[in-house]
Amino acid sequence: MKSNDRSLPNAMAAALMVFASTAAQAQDFSYSAFGTIGAAISNQDYRYQRFIDSDGSLMRDTVLGAQLDVQFTPELSATVQGKLAPSARNDQDWDLTASWAFASWRPNNDWLLRAGKLRIPLYLSSENLDVGQSYEFARLPTEMYSIAPTTDVTGLYITRNWALGNSDLSLDAYSGQAKVWVRLNTRDTGTSFNKYDTRVSGSVLTWRAEDTMLRFSAHHAVTRPDGGPLNPVSTQSITTPFGPVYDASGTTPKIRNDIITVGIDQKLPGNWRIMFEAERNIQHDTDLGANTAGGYIAILKSMDKWTPYVSASVLKTVGAPARAHEALSQSSVPDLVPGVTDVINASQRRFADSIPFYDQHSLAIGTSYALTPHSKLKAEWLHTWVRKGSAMIDSPSAGPAVADKGIDVLSISYNFAY
Amino acid sequence: MTRLKFTLAGLLLLACVPLCHAADRIVVIGHANVRKIDLTTVQRIFMGKTIEVDGVRVRPANGTPNLVARQRFLSQYLQTDEDQYVAYWTVRRYVGKGTPPHEVKQTAEMIEFVSKTPGAIGYVDEADVLPGMNVVLRK
C-alpha cells in the first residue's frame, strides 16, 4: 500500500491526534465504518472502467472506510473520513486517503458552514458515493458518475436551509481546490497518470419532500497541469510525403469547464421509485478535452428486503472534441516505409486516444438484498454498447480502438455501514 | 355461574383495553427548559433537520434499536420503521450532515438524560410518565 499524497495521511494523522486529544472534552463523538467488497467480470479481454476484464477484478468496486464525528459544542463539530481504495495514481496499488476532513459550524436551523476537505454534491449520490450500503445500485451509473476525475475538494462550503412545511429547500455554495490524477490509456504507450490542479466553485439547489428530491447544480472548474505538459488546443492538418495527417496546435495553460447537473429522485405508489440524472460538461479553451452530455434513468421497486432495478444510461462527447476524435481516428497513411509510416500512424493513434472521448450507452439490471438494516448484497448485469469509442476502455495495443462493440459485466458485492 | 364468570372476564378485558393502549402509547418528554412542540417539529428534530426550538438548542435522545419504545416512537411519531430510519441516518451521516441522535439503552437512562441535559428531548411509554415530568407532546 502506498500513500496517494504524503500530505494526506499526515493531515489525517494530525487531525486524528487533535480529535483524540479533544475527544475527552467533546460533548459527543461517534465512530462508523463502511465498505464494499465487490467483484466484477466482463466477457472481454480488454479492460473496462480501469479494472474490469474477463479475468475478473475486486478493484473496481471494493472500498473500505471509517468515519469519526466529533461534537465539540452544540454548534461546532468535525468529521474525518478515511478510505482504503484502489489508487488514483496507478492501477496496481491501494491508497489510504482522507476523503473528508472538515469542521462544521451550525449556528441555527438555517445555516451550516463547513471548512476543509469534503465532497461536492455534483450528483444525487455524490457525498455517499463510497458507501454502497446507502443506495440500491451495485454501481452507480458510470456514464453519469464519471464526468469528473474527483469530487473531493478542499475549501469552504456554505449551506442555507429553508423549512417549507413538509419539505426543505437548501442552497449549497462552495469554493475550493483539489489535486487530481487523470488517467490516460493509449494503445501505443499504455497507461499513464498526469497530475492536475483544479480550482472549482459552484452552487447546488436541492428540494426535499417526503417522496421527492430534486437537485440542480452548476459548477465552474479551472484546471491546470501540475508539472505536466500543457494541454493542446486543437488539431492542424500537416502534409507528409505519404499524405495528410494531424498534429496538435497551440497549448493552453488552463482549461475551464462549466458543469450543469439535474437530478430527480421520486418515490411512487406501490413502492416504485424513479431516478433521473443528467449532465452537461461544457469544455472551454481546448477542442481536445472532455465536452460531454450524459445521464441515466432508473426504475426501482422495493419488495421487502429486495430492491430490483433497471437503469439506462448514456454518455457522449459532443462538439469539437467529438469531431477531432473522429478525424484522428480515421487519420493514417499507407504503410509504405516501415519505421517511418508506422511511426506516423502510431502518432495518430496516440493523438486520438488522448482525447477523453465517449460514445456509449448502457443497460443495467440488478437487485439489492438487505441482509440487515446495516448490510446489503447486490448483483447486477450490465451491458454497454460502445459506438465510436470510449475512453473508459483500454483498447488492445495492437489493432483498432474498440468501437461498435458490446461489453457484458457481471457484478456482485457485499456492502455494509455501521 | 358460568355466565357470571364470562361476563366478569369480558368486563376485565374491556377494562384492559384502554390500559393496554396507554401502555403502548409513547409521549415525548423534554428537559425543563423545552416548551411544548408540535409533531412536525419532533419529526424534524429526530431527523436532524431542526436543532433549535424557540432559541433553545435541542438534544434528541433515542432508544437503542432493541428498546421497544423506540419502535413505537418511530411508528407513532416519525411514521417510519427501523430499517427506513437507519437507512435515512446512514445517508445523512455519509453526506456530512450530522450523526444520529444520542442513544440510551433503557427508559431510566432516557429519563435521567432528559432531566439533566438542557435542551434534551426524548420519549417514554405513557405508563412511565412520572409526576413533574415535562411532557412536550402527546399524540
Residue B90: CATH number of its domain: 3.40.190.10
**DSSP string across A243-275:** EEEEEEEEEES-EEEEEEEEEEEEEEGGGEEEE
The structural domain count of chain B equals 1
**pTM here?**
0.85
B30 domain residue, yes or no: yes
Nearest to A74 among B57, B87, B102 (CB): B57
- Whether residue A286 lies within 8 A of chain B, CB to CB, comes out as no
Residue B94 and residue A67: Cβ atoms within 8 Å? yes
- Whether residue B82 lies within 8 A of chain A, CB to CB, comes out as yes
B36 domain residue, yes or no: yes
Residue B96 and residue A370: Cβ atoms within 8 Å? no
Residues of chain B with pLDDT under 50: 1-2, 6, 8-21
Residue B91 and residue A128: Cβ atoms within 8 Å? yes
Residues of chain A with pLDDT under 70: 1-27
Residue B40 and residue A168: Cβ atoms within 8 Å? no
Residue B50 and residue A109: Cβ atoms within 8 Å? yes
What's the domain range around B80?
24-138
| CB-count burial class (<10 Å; 0-12, 13-18, 19+) for A161 | buried
User: What ipTM describes this predicted complex?
Assistant: 0.77
Which candidate, A48, A53, A39, places its Cα nearest to that of A385? Answer: A48
Residue B93 and residue A69: Cβ atoms within 8 Å? yes
B114 domain residue, yes or no: yes
B55 domain residue, yes or no: yes
| CB-count burial class (<10 Å; 0-12, 13-18, 19+) for A103 | middle
Residue A118 and residue B96: Cβ atoms within 8 Å? yes
Q: Output Rg (C-alpha) for chain A, integer angstroms.
A: 23
B5 domain residue, yes or no: no
B14 domain residue, yes or no: no
Domains of chain A: 43-52+133-417 (2.40.160)
Helices and strands of chain B, counted as H and E runs:
5, 7
| Chain A interface, best mutation among B94, B99, B102, B103, by max A CB count within 10 A | B94
Q: What is the pLDDT of residue A16?
A: 52
Cα–Cα distance for residue pair A409/A124, rounded to 1 Å: 24
- Whether residue A119 lies within 8 A of chain B, CB to CB, comes out as yes
Chain B residues touching A71 at Cβ < 8 A: 99
| Chain A interface, best mutation among B44, B93, B104, B117, by max A CB count within 10 A | B93
User: pLDDT digit string (tens) for B106-116?
Assistant: 999 999 999 99
